[in-house]
Amino acid sequence: MRALLLLIASLAWLGSARAESLVISLSNQHVDINSTYTGAQLALFGVVVRDGRSATRADAYDILISIKGPSGLVTVRRKERFGPIWINREQRKFADVPATLALIGTRPFTDIVDRDFIDRFGMRIESHVLPKGAALADDFGAALIRLKKEDDLFTIRDRDVAFLTPDVFRATLDVPATGPLGIYNVEVSLFAGGVRLAQAETFFTVGKVGFEQLIAREARDHGVLYGMATAAMALCFGWLASVIFRRD
């Protein structure tokens, strides 16, 4: 069944092959974390390049974008009553969940592509969190998604890609301040009439630079020295204060 679907999809893609292609560019390939970092915004520009011979389409173009942050294991815990107190008892681990996820489109996603194909294009948060084939009514998974949405780590913006001309579009990508360091993958798909016409991928990295990088590296590689430096700083400040305030 899945193979058949894939076949149909790829035939559909081949049918319109090379009629359109996507060229995308990010305003920045590196997000630098310095001492004033509070998250970042990147601009994504894209151009739909059309084969000169193909006729104009009846349907307008639509764009779907997914920005997926670094993935890793996350543990979700549930508080339960234990005697008189509430403590974390049951827990569930989710392997390979993106730390951040932003899904952006020109219109509500189900208007752009058929509901059944949404998962295939990665445009539903659940498909990134729950293991493949897991029950949809999973309390822990739903809670994780809800909590991540509350922290703005998972976002859905379904009217946030603007076509500047019929062929040129622009979108703003937000990097949350508490998003992890690492590689963020950006995937852009072009749709018309419910069919994916073209797809393009790019990425950007979030990393510490300068002083922040130095500190983090020292803390990791020379823990004892770093701890001694912190302790020395504490002594210094404490002594300074007693000198400044010495009156009696």
Question: Is residue 70 close enough to count as binding other proteins by CB under 8 A?
Answer: yes
Which of 5, 23, 162, 241 binds other proteins (CB under 8 A)? It is 241
Considering the complex, state which of residue 35 and residue 56 has its C-beta at the smaller distance from other proteins.
35
Burial 126-154 (b: 16+ CB within 10 A, else e): eebbbeeeeeeebebbeebbeebeeeebb
Question: Is residue 30 close enough to count as binding other proteins by CB under 8 A?
Answer: no
Considering the complex, state which of residue 59 and residue 239 has its C-beta at the smaller distance from other proteins.
239
Give the contact letters, 155-184, x = binds to other proteins (CB under 8 A), - = no. ----------------------xx-xxx--
Select the span of 119-127, 155-163, 192-200, 229-237 touching other proteins (CB under 8 A): 229-237
Residue 236 to residues 204, 211, 246, Cα–Cα distance (Å)? 41, 21, 15
Residue 145 to residues 101, 103, 184, 211, Cα–Cα distance (Å)? 10, 13, 19, 34
- Any bridge partners for residue 207, and if so which? 32
Going edge to edge, which strands form the sheet with 154-157?
30-33, 195-208, 182-192, 62-68, 101-105, 154-157
Structure tokens at 81: 């009553």
C-beta of 104: minimal distance to other proteins in Å? 22
Considering the complex, state which of residue 18 and residue 222 has its C-beta at the smaller distance from other proteins.
222
Going edge to edge, which strands form the sheet with 20-26?
20-26, 40-50, 168-175, 161-163
C-beta of 228: minimal distance to other proteins in Å? 6
Helix (H) or strand (E) holding 207: strand 195-208
Question: Is residue 140 close enough to count as binding other proteins by CB under 8 A?
Answer: yes
CB 86 within 8 A of CB 80: yes
DSSP 16: T
C-beta of 66: minimal distance to other proteins in Å? 17
Which of 51, 59, 80, 201 binds other proteins (CB under 8 A)? It is 80
Considering the complex, state which of residue 50 and residue 208 has its C-beta at the smaller distance from other proteins.
208
Which residue, among 110, 115, 192, 227, has the nearest Cα to 158 in the 3D structure?
Answer: 110
Q: Which of residues 181-220 bind other proteins (CB under 8 A)?
A: 181-182, 208, 211-213, 215-216, 219-220
Where does this chain bind other proteins (CB under 8 A)?
A: 33-39, 69-81, 84-88, 91, 97, 99, 139-140, 143-144, 146-148, 177-178, 180-182, 208, 211-213, 215-216, 219-220, 223-224, 226-231, 233-235, 237-242, 245
